[in-house]
Amino acid sequence: EEVTKFEYDMSQNQERLIMDTQDMNGLLDATKKDLEEHQKQLNERIDSLKELDFDESVNLDLKPNLLNKVSMSNDTFLELKKRAEVAERMQRALRISEQRVQTLEKSNQEKDKELGEMFNLRIENGYLKRQVEFFKQVIDNIRDKVSAQRDKDGNPRVTKKLMEHAIGYAKEYVGRKMNMKKEAMPRNENEEIGRDLAIKSLAAKQKEKGYGSDMER
């Protein structure tokens, strides 16, 4: 359920990111178009300055090799300056828009990577579930087969009770070794008896090695 919810949230986020990216691309194209048009007008304005009658002399470095020292009215100069400032702001906005588009694209790539990893984890989880079920069925089959064995008098060679004792013992022993307490939980009273036997046996082995007390452990 958590994987399904995560995939749904990821799908919704991806759709929103795609829409945001499309919006940003549209804004970016419009900004580029406006900037190109404004730059064209600005260049035309600069070209036309040579033909004007100017009242005062100012230094311009707007178009190298074409304009060095020209004379223009104060209003013309202020208008040109205003246009240049607008062009600069549009260029700045264009750079910011491009950065946002790159950020969105990077975010989309990361989300796609996460979705791929989640898909792989889902496959791996399904495989692990099959493995667990496989070993459960193997144990049940062994229990049934061993319990069905009879001696020459028709008596069970190994009773079901003794078999469950052995399973409880093995669960506790392996569970401690692999630190899997939850998986080692006994299913019935007979397995609990086997678990208790394993606990006593392991405690005795620890004591033989010199780990008898809690402090020593």
Check residue 54 and give its pLDDT. 46
**What CA dihedral angle connects 170, 176, 178 and 181, to 10 degrees?**
90
CB 147 within 8 A of CB 160: yes
Instruction: Specify the CATH number for the domain of residue 41.
Output: 1.10.287
DSSP, collapsed to helix, strand or coil, labels residue 145 as helix
Based on the fold, state whether residues 97 and 146 are members of the same structural domain. no
Check residue 65 and give its pLDDT. 46
DSSP, collapsed to helix, strand or coil, labels residue 179 as coil
Based on the fold, state whether residues 85 and 149 are members of the same structural domain. no
Q: Could you tell me the two tokens for 79?
A: 């208008």
Residue-range definition of the domain harbouring residue 17:
2-127
Tens digit of each residue's pLDDT (9 = 90 or more) over 187-206: 899 889 989 998 998 888 88
Based on the fold, state whether residues 20 and 50 are members of the same structural domain. yes
pLDDT in tens, the chain (217 residues): 777 777 777 777 777 777 777 777 777 777 778 778 777 777 777 666 655 544 444 444 544 444 444 455 677 777 777 777 877 777 788 788 778 888 888 888 888 888 888 888 888 888 888 887 887 787 777 777 787 788 888 888 888 888 888 888 988 888 888 888 888 888 899 889 989 998 998 888 888 776 555 555 5
Is residue 213 included in any domain, yes or no? no
Domain end residue (candidates: 127, 145, 174): 127
Tens digit of each residue's pLDDT (9 = 90 or more) over 124-134: 888 888 887 88
Domain end residue (candidates: 108, 127, 146): 127
CA gap 63, 194 in Å, rounded: 94
Based on the fold, state whether residues 139 and 121 are members of the same structural domain. no
Number of domains in the chain: 2
